[in-house]
Chain A
Amino acid sequence: MTAPDRLIAVERVTKRYATSSGPVEALHDVSLTVGEGEFCTLIGPSGCGKSTLLGMLGGLVHPDSGRVLVDARPVTGPDPRRVATVFQDPGLFPWRTVLENVEFGLELGGSAAARRRAIATELLPPLGLKGFAEKYPRELSGGMKQRVAIGRALAIDTKILLMDEPFGALDEQTRVLMGEWLLDIWRRTRKTVIFVTHSLHEALFLSTRIAVMTARPGRIKSVLDLPLDYPRSMESPELVALRAKLWGEIREESLRAMQ
């Protein structure tokens, strides 16, 4: 049994990448724990290793040192029984219909055709994709594509959902609406979400916890807990105060990243 407040544990992780101008340290001695049912956001300047950290949780990137535990077991590779990932680029398969894209993970997991069809079909209405089952990705808007990608992740019903700037490519209005929609999904499914973003608004609006990362090499600068109710109002005094505090921390790192 894992302690519920340590569903995910990142322990002193370091990662270097070889580039043409020599090795670059993406993450330096990063430690972080995330409890079950939390909505934990990673925020920080571009290139601070947020995506690298998320890749490690998903088993797509291996740390040079330190270790990553999910459910008290070290992550050695992708494990779709426990972790599902949504990427910034939805990465839908253009030759598959919406329904077939949502079914993808179930198909790889070996579930029967009728069963996966039933699961995927049931997911479409809450995704706002009712009536789009037989459409191909090129017929969808950016927001819809990302909802299909989220559907593909929800379909395999994992405890943990990793989201790498899922709304980063969307326009501001769609982004706000998608945030509200995601909040609704999260509150109903009570999944543990690790969410990477650049957006202060998104972080404050969604998270139970925000981890601020430093400019390269990425370290955890500070962790903010947000014991506030949903839905949140950006005008509430607590959130205004938190926003100022968060901006102070990020501003400093973004300035360093620009130098």
Chain B
Amino acid sequence: MTLLARAGLFLVLLGLWEAVGRASNPLLAVPPSAVLPALRDLLLLRSYPDLPANVLLTVREIAMAYALAVVAGLACGFALGFNRLIGRAWGPMIAALYAVPAVVWYPSLMLFFGLDAASKIAFGFLLGFFPVTLAVLAGIRQVNPHLVTVARAYGAGPLTVFGRVMVPAMLFTLVGGLRTALALAVVGVIVGEILGSKRGMGALINHAYGLLRTADYVALVLVTLALVVGSDVVASLAERRALKWSE
């Protein structure tokens, strides 16, 4: 039923798009019927023969940015969460920094890291870092102290308490933060590429858009979308596995 409703909505939207696309200036908007051939040309490497290299570069930038964000976010979150003084002093600052639209930092990131992959990784990292840190902080607050007492009564030392009680108890929040971080790292890298680069999916999108090759532009966006949705599907599968007990 849900599937049917979803398919119905999709068809209605496609129909609307087709109607609006046909009625508009073809330079600004294209109907799905024009996107399909463009998508075919794109996937057959006719319009952009270097698509695979660009996809690969973007994926690698995302992987790098995400890995750095997770490592730094976990380290920072646990350092703040386990150290009351540092946590009190810096916790609010982290939250305040997170509220600043991250894109304001991008110009200086380009100055520091140049126009190549490094600045995109830095931007993806910046976006992914905060949700991980804040999820760790929120997760630590959620651990039921009674469960820690129980584990200690059964002989658990600090490391065992961490591994057997804290981590599983935080997992729900933590996994949510990791998933958000992945989505934001993807956004960071692609926005970074669009704002200024010569390679990567963002650069191709910029190219097509700049030359008013609107059908190609939409096709590239669809490929990027597949990338984003794909990463989120992987993340949600991992999430479901980790949280089997709460179903």
Contacts and interface: CB of A to CB of B under 8 A. Distances in A.
A79 interface: yes
B171 A95 contact: yes
For the residues of B in contact with A, the DSSP-based class is helix
Please classify the interface of chain A as helix (H, G, I), strand (E, B), loop, or mixed, using the class held by over half of its residues.
loop
Interface residues of A, number: 23
Interface in B203-247: 245-246
Given A87-B146, A91-B146, A58 B153 contact: yes
B86 to A, nearest CB: 24
Contacts of B155: 78-80, 105, 108-109
A33 to B, nearest CB: 23
Contacts of A84: 153-154
Interface in B146-166: 146-147, 149-156, 160, 164-165
A191 to B, nearest CB: 16
B168 interface: yes
Interface string A102-116: 001100110000000
| Centre residue among B144, B152, B155, B160 by max chain A CB count within 10 A | B155
Interface string A135-156: 0100000000000000010001
A87 B144 CA distance: 14
A181 interface: no
Given A93-B165, A93-B168, A95-B168, A85 B245 contact: no
Contact of B152 (A78, A93, A104, A152): A78
Given A91-B146, A91-B149, A94-B246, A105 B154 contact: yes
Interface of B: 144, 146-147, 149-156, 160, 164-165, 168-169, 171, 245-246
Given A78-B154, A95-B171, A105-B155, 17 more contacts: A60-B149, A60-B152, A60-B153, A78-B152, A78-B155, A80-B154, A91-B149, A91-B150, A94-B245, A94-B246, A95-B168, A96-B245, A108-B154, A108-B156, A136-B245, A152-B154, A156-B154
21 contacts: A78-B154, A78-B155, A80-B155, A84-B153, A84-B154, A85-B150, A87-B150, A87-B153, A91-B144, A91-B150, A93-B147, A93-B164, A93-B165, A95-B171, A95-B245, A96-B245, A97-B245, A104-B151, A108-B156, A136-B245, A152-B154
